[in-house]
Amino acid sequence: MKARLKAAKGTHDLFPADAEKFAAVETVARRVFGSFGYGEIRTPTFESTELFARSVGETTDIVHKEMYTFPDRKGRSLTLRPENTAGVVRALVEKGIQEMPRPLRLWYTGSQFRYEQPQAGRYREFRQIGVELLGVPGPVGDAEVLGMLFAFLHALGFTDAVATINCIPRGPARAAFSKALQDHVRPHAARLGAEDLKRLEENPLRLFDSKDPEARPILEGAPKTLDFLDEASRAHHEALKELLVQGGVRFRESAAIVRGIDYYTLTVFEVASERLGAQNALLGGGRYDELVGELGGPPTPAVGFAIGEDRLVEAMTGDVREPRSLVFVIPDGPDEFVYALGVSNEIRGLLPEAIVESDYSGRGIGKGLGRAGQIARDPALHPFRVGAVHAVLLGSREREGDTVTMKDLTSGTQETFPRRELPERLAGRER
């Protein structure tokens, strides 16, 4: 036998039992975000490397050491997207955002790629579900996005979610904050590693992303972002808090949340889940009023978030899939296959929401019923969320008489009736 190949480090396969959960979460996303007027956008999985350097930021961990970057055959530098906001903004600017009616309301789902050290909940290919609202400058935009986020989380059973929010100074206030942070950290510079020293000089805000335990205590007494806000930023932040209280979005404030991406201005937020292990960050987001301009578009205020879909599914305890009734069609042997194909399709037509599975093993009705019975007893064996389970038994008697025998595997009752009676017999058995 030839050697078997393994999935690349940090990637994983989703088999139907898991993939159906992801699909169900995406269905809820489509329903909830759609009810706020957000439409789905799908952008390419790879982009020019320059896009991420200009948006996420040269000195962030993501750009600096986590990107999958490669030259294509013509020597262009391409990168597998490490996040999706940059791609969405690039797409809008390319299509002519200045002509589009505002606000723009978009959501996406898809794989993202980061060369990180894999561990539970941290992958090199992972999926995100995200939202972008462009063209609403005031705190009401942040409040819409956070309110919608919480509606989504509640629909998935995360009723105890709490957002941690912060406000990052902009313009001259941001420069003053960076300077104060440098002044605070410099006397302790001898304790910092090379990477944090670079951050200290080039982009002090990124010190908060440091994973070095030595850096933590130094940052604990650091200046607070909220003390550096200019008048307008402070008003924005205070108004947002008021709107969140009114909207029933639970939150707390933390000066330590700065997010590992440079494009954020003003509002930033995260939600963690206690149901996850060490990697407990479920999602992150914030306002990025300068990004559209940075990428060549007209000044456009914007706010959004990205949820780690793998972590979201892992932390979910309830089942958001709709129950579907399962009908096993079991021909006794190969002579009944053609009859079974016809009957199966007829049932699919009558019960569009049901799962109609045919047994083509030719092992006889008894064996086929065994598998159906197993699933009736333990519906979790099936990748879908199975409601009622029925078996349709087709032997030579049924084929010759154009009848079907239907067994309800929950009650155990069984009846034989003419095939033409299927519509009335199946009525109301969708679930």
Residues that bind ligand AMP (CB under 6 A): 83, 114, 116, 122-123, 126, 128, 260, 281-284, 306, 308, 310-311
* Nearest residue (CB) to ligand AMP, 58 versus 402: 58
The least CB distance from residue 164 to ligand AMP, in Å, is 12
The least CB distance from residue 414 to ligand AMP, in Å, is 49
* Nearest residue (CB) to ligand AMP, 116 versus 357: 116
* Nearest residue (CB) to ligand AMP, 11 versus 374: 11
The least CB distance from residue 286 to ligand AMP, in Å, is 9
The least CB distance from residue 400 to ligand AMP, in Å, is 58
Q: Are 284 and 126 in contact (CB under 8 A)?
A: no
The least CB distance from residue 272 to ligand AMP, in Å, is 8
Answer left, alpha or beta for residue 168, where phi above 0 means left and psi between -120 and 50 means alpha.
beta
Give every CB contact of residue 24 below 8 A, 6+ residues apart in sequence: 319, 320, 321
* Nearest residue (CB) to ligand AMP, 130 versus 331: 130
* Nearest residue (CB) to ligand AMP, 176 versus 281: 281
The least CB distance from residue 394 to ligand AMP, in Å, is 47
* Nearest residue (CB) to ligand AMP, 270 versus 346: 270
The least CB distance from residue 57 to ligand AMP, in Å, is 12
Closest residue by beta carbon to ligand AMP:
308
Burial of 298 (C-beta count, 10 Å sphere; 0-12/13-18/19+): exposed
* Nearest residue (CB) to ligand AMP, 305 versus 339: 305
* Nearest residue (CB) to ligand AMP, 211 versus 420: 211
How far apart (Å, rounded) are the C-alpha atoms in residues 429 and 295?
A: 54
* Nearest residue (CB) to ligand AMP, 315 versus 354: 315
The least CB distance from residue 280 to ligand AMP, in Å, is 9
The least CB distance from residue 63 to ligand AMP, in Å, is 12
Q: Which residues pair with 307 in a beta bridge?
A: 129, 283
The least CB distance from residue 293 to ligand AMP, in Å, is 21
Return the structure tokens found at 307: 């949820």
3-state secondary structure the chain: CCCCCCCCCCCCCCCHHHHHHHHHHHHHHHHHHHHCCCEECCCCCEEEHHHHHHHHHCCCHHHHHCCEEEECCCCCEEEECCCCHHHHHHHHHHHCHHHCCCCEEEEEEEEEECCCCCECCECCEEEEEEEEEECCCCHHHHHHHHHHHHHHHHHCCCCCCCEEEEEECCHHHHHHHHHHHHHHHHHHHHHCCHHHHHHHHHCHHHHHHCCCCCHHHHHHCCCCHHHHCCHHHHHHHHHHHHHHHHCCCCEEECCCCCCCCCCCCEEEEEEECCCCCCCCEEEEEEECCCHHHHCCCCCCCEEEEEEEHHHHHHHCCCCCCCCEEEEEEEECCHHHHHHHHHHHHHHHHHCCCCEEEECCCCCCHHHHHHHHHHHHHCHHHCCCCEEEEEEEEECHHHHHHCEEEEEECCCCCEEEEEHHHHHHHHCCCCC
The least CB distance from residue 283 to ligand AMP, in Å, is 5
* Nearest residue (CB) to ligand AMP, 297 versus 308: 308
* Nearest residue (CB) to ligand AMP, 56 versus 422: 56
